Amino acid sequence: TTSLTDADRAGLAQMSLDQLGIMCDTDKSSTGHGYTSVYERHTLEHRDTATTIIEFGVAAGGSTLMWSKWFYNAYIHGFDVNLHRPLGERITHYQLDCTSEIITNLTQQIQPDIIIDDAAHTMLSHQQTFDLTFPYLNEGGLYIFEDLQTCYDPLFGGSPTHAGEPLVDHSAAEHQSPR
């Protein structure tokens, strides 16, 4: 594995996360869901310091490639029920359900600075993955849930009247220390 040159790093530093998302063909970019502007706002202060990122639900791998270019000092660990070949350096993909107990051991070993849950899009899955991984998120790290709107959708096990309540209540009760 080769590391980025100073020129490569400088070039990437000039690009927005949306530009990287478009270049890496991820649905997070403005050509898809349009989440990159939100991600950029919340991850910018971690861009130079994050060393390990976990993403659950990597689909074809475009987002893990985008993260490797955005967090140019980080190793990216992608988990999905379908195994895909990593598209770049510093990326490892695992074929594993994000609610598997094995996730706890891997997360403890990886010691992530950022965890992104873009997997099953159900409230139950969010709760289970959070419980298995949050205790091993590094101090000062970020835990990001993507597609929370599905928690309102009965097709994803959600409810228009109680979306988010179990996760918020559960999270508040179980995890009092701020990360």
Task: Return the active site residues.
Answer: 121
State the DSSP H helix or E strand holding residue 40, giving kind and residue range, or none if neither: helix 36-43
The Cα angle at residue 99 between residues 150 and 163, in degrees rounded to 5:
25
- With contact defined as beta carbons under 8 Å apart, do 66 and 26 qualify? yes
**Paired sense of beta strands 91-95 and 114-117, if any:** unpaired
State the DSSP H helix or E strand holding residue 171, giving kind and residue range, or none if neither: helix 165-174
Q: Which residue has the tokens 């990597």?
A: 58
How far apart, in whole angstroms, are the C-alpha atoms of residue 177 and residue 30?
34
Q: Collapsing DSSP states into helix, strand and coil, what is residue 77?
A: strand
How far apart, in whole angstroms, are the C-alpha atoms of residue 69 and residue 81?
24
The tokens describing 61, both together, are: 């791998």
